[in-house]
Structure 1
Amino acid sequence: MDAIDPLPAWSALAALDDEALPLLDVALLIARDEYPDLEPRRYVLQVQGHASHLRNVLDRESHPALKMRAINQYLFEEVGYAGNHDEYYDPRNSYLNEVFERRLGNPISLALVQMAVAREVGLPLDGVSFPGHFLVRLPVDDGVLVMDPFNRGRPLDVDELRQRARAHLGGDVPDDDALSQILYPASNRAILVRVLRNLHGVYQERGDWDRATRSADRVLSLVPDNPEALRDRGIGYLELGHVAGAREDLGRYLLRHPRADDARDIRLRLIETGQRTARLH
């Protein structure tokens, strides 16, 4: 279990190896941006409470798949965690404190709860950055059990996984090797970046440029060279009128990715911004 308090500083995260990056702590750190009075201890204790309740039940099961079924039954049926199908793009679905409080979330936030509880009781549950919806996986026997946290931890067979991936691969059905690569465990850093990218997308769509820019900036705290975040923070700066910051970020983005699909549009925006600035003087 991650440390209860204090949460790590954003400035320290880029230098940490992925294994040293505390997943639950940083997920709560993301939430603290929006909820500055958040007390991480409250939610760490909730994870420990869930695990404590489960231990007696799990002691009666020998196989990891049966233990995982018991965890899912408890979290999704007894406690009531659920995917927020009605308001999928509500930003509260991405903030872990809100997920614990409301028992509602999106695929990746529910996976974070599922993973935290499973790991607390000794099951090595990992996240999977599957195209579309985030999934989780558990090693069993000679393979892996893949589950959908957004739909009460439902197990997914190989055929369904192929069809789900196909929709995001231009209609191509992945073969065994390709599917194995897609199902590779996501790193802690990749999971946290995906949480922040989800938030950026929600806030950008709403035109909430303060929060969209903050989300991109936090990605850069985790991965300083992330090209999409550099571009997105620069565009956010433009929308907020921070021209110098926008020029720096977007200039760096174009220098490193001169042939990006959106490079021409970004160059035009920078030119237009320069012309407007010149007229103001």
Structure 2
Amino acid sequence: MQEPDDSLDLLRGATLIARHRHPLLRHEDAVDQLDDLAVQIEGRMPGAAYPLRMLQTISRHLRERGFRGNSGDYYDPDNSCINRVLERRTGIPITLSLVYMEVAKRLGLPMVGVNIPGHFFITPANPEMEFLVDAFDGGEISFLQDAEATLTNIYKRPVQLDPAFLSRKQPVPPRVFLARMLNNLKQIYNLRRNYADAYAVSCYLRATRPGDLDELRDSGVYLYQLGRYPECVEALTEFLARSPADSEDAEKVRALLRSLDQRS
């Protein structure tokens, strides 16, 4: 995370994230699997380089190989681990998008992520190609109205996107892409009350956005839940030193620290 944005390797970042659950994971294994997928698709590509037909070929092959969204167990942490996504061929929108992006890049069709809250789409890096690809939905080509329908279904209320959205593409920077993967995992571990893994992910998030007070606070709370009280006090004391004294969070943190004083 100390590297410049333009030199961050998304796939390497994803394998590092996955090692919090799969410590023996080798980055080279993920690279080999993606290389193999690209070689399989290369022989099926249309003779002329028509980007839309190329994408349709990629999508069809990935569907035939069994890649699909894991709607049945959406909150399985392994949906966010690139090695397990490649092994099981199922995942969530952002990890399936990463698989698609890596394969398309190897076939000469670079893709970028699109930062839409609630779902993750990708789109050709070429600004003249104004459509989206939904890797979670089998690589379906989505135009603006399709994306609105997908988001409307997610939010259960009408969603409208600015028509200029696709023409002024703002790709998701690698650092934001990785932070979004981590936030998904953090929410999952919060739901499961798995504070050890939540703390590990919170430390990763602090690397993606140094100085973030919310993440410093959350790290301290996870340390409290884990009974690691000296580290908890250190993190939360730093949080208070850097937070506005009258903030609601600061008062909650002071109350937590008082409870620790009473324990001792």
Question: Any unmatched runs of 5+ in structure 2?
Answer: none
Which of 85, 101, 104 is the aligned partner of 1:99? 85
Instruction: Look up the match of 2:130.
Output: 144
Letter of the 2:37 partner, please give it. H
Structure 1-normalised TM-score?
Answer: 0.83
Which of 253, 256, 259 is the aligned partner of 1:273? 256
Which of 77, 81, 89 is the aligned partner of 2:75? 89
- Local SS of the residue matching 1:203: helix
Which of 1, 5, 9 is the aligned partner of 1:22? 9
1:114 and 2:97 are equivalent in the alignment: no
Q: Structure 1 residues 203-212 or 51-60, which shifts more? A: 51-60
Distance change (3 Å), C-alpha of 1:231 and 1:278 = closer
* Conserved? CA contact 1:130–1:182, under 8 Å: no
Letter of the 1:32 partner, please give it. R
1:209-220 pair list within 5 angstroms: 209-220=195-206
1:122-137 pair list within 5 angstroms: 122-137=108-123
Distance change (3 Å), C-alpha of 1:188 and 1:139 = closer
Instruction: Look up the match of 2:170.
Output: 184
Tell me the distance in 1 between the aligned counterparts of 2:245 and 2:51: 48
Instruction: Look up the match of 1:46.
Output: 33
Instruction: State the shift of 1:250 in Å.
Output: 4.0
- Local SS of the residue matching 2:54: helix
Q: Structure 1 residues 154-163 or 198-207, which shifts more? A: 154-163
1:205 and 2:188 are equivalent in the alignment: no
Distance change (3 Å), C-alpha of 1:252 and 1:137 = farther
RMSD: 2.7
Instruction: State the shift of 1:141 in Å.
Output: 7.5
- Local SS of the residue matching 1:87: coil
Residues 139-173 of structure 1: CA deviation (Å, up to 9, x unaligned): 467332201111101111212334555676x9663
Tell me the distance in 1 between the aligned counterparts of 2:158 and 2:233: 38
- Local SS of the residue matching 2:59: helix
Distance change (3 Å), C-alpha of 1:198 and 1:140 = same
Instruction: State the shift of 1:232 in Å.
Output: 2.2
Which of 245, 249, 254 is the aligned partner of 2:231? 245
Instruction: Look up the match of 2:179.
Output: 193
* Conserved? CA contact 1:61–1:67, under 8 Å: no
Tell me the distance in 2 between the aligned counterparts of 1:92 and 1:185: 25
1:56 and 2:43 are equivalent in the alignment: yes
Distance change (3 Å), C-alpha of 1:25 and 1:258 = same
Instruction: State the shift of 1:124 in Å.
Output: 1.1
Instruction: State the shift of 1:175 in Å.
Output: 2.8
Residues 178-234 of structure 1: CA deviation (Å, up to 9, x unaligned): x34995211111111111110000001110000001101011122212344223222
Question: Any unmatched runs of 5+ in structure 1?
Answer: 1-12
Instruction: Look up the match of 1:6.
Output: none
Instruction: State the shift of 1:56 in Å.
Output: 2.2
- Local SS of the residue matching 1:134: strand
Tell me the distance in 2 between the aligned counterparts of 1:274 and 1:107: 39
- Local SS of the residue matching 1:225: coil
